[in-house]
Amino acid sequence: MRILLVLMMTSMFFMTNGFAAKDGKTLYKKCRGCHGIDGKHIPFEQRNGILAGRDKVELELIIKAIYDGNYKESKLNKIMQKVITKFSPEEISIVAEYISRFKN
């Protein structure tokens, strides 16, 4: 009986954490150190890193290009690539949707 209870509690823990990671605000926490809470920060003096005011499609394309290593705009993208490669394609879409709500 104890083993069953432990297994149920463990599976609930992993299910809860999995669902929490699918939240755009939670995913964006990995990005805000450079891009700012509202996406208006200029990371490493690179103006193209401002995220506020961009639409979801543009953001998804850029994030996917960085993920694939095809966006060579800056050497700093290597930092982003390390963060982004931990995202699933679904999470990329979710975080792009969240960021697209940032206003200029």
Q: Residue 67: is its pLDDT beyond 60?
A: yes
Distance CA 14, CA 48 (A): 37
Per-residue confidence (pLDDT) for residue 46, from 0 to 100: 84
Per-residue confidence (pLDDT) for residue 7, from 0 to 100: 46
Token pair, residue 12, equals: 């609930």
Per-residue pLDDT of 28-37, as tens digits, reads 999 999 999 9
Supply the pTM of this predicted model: 0.75
Per-residue burial over 25-51, b = 16 or more CB atoms within 10 Å of its CB, e = otherwise? eebbeebeebbbeebebebeeeeebbb
Distance CA 22, CA 87 (A): 10
List of domains in the chain = 21-99 (1.10.760.10)
Token pair, residue 50, equals: 């401002």
Count the residues in the chain: 104
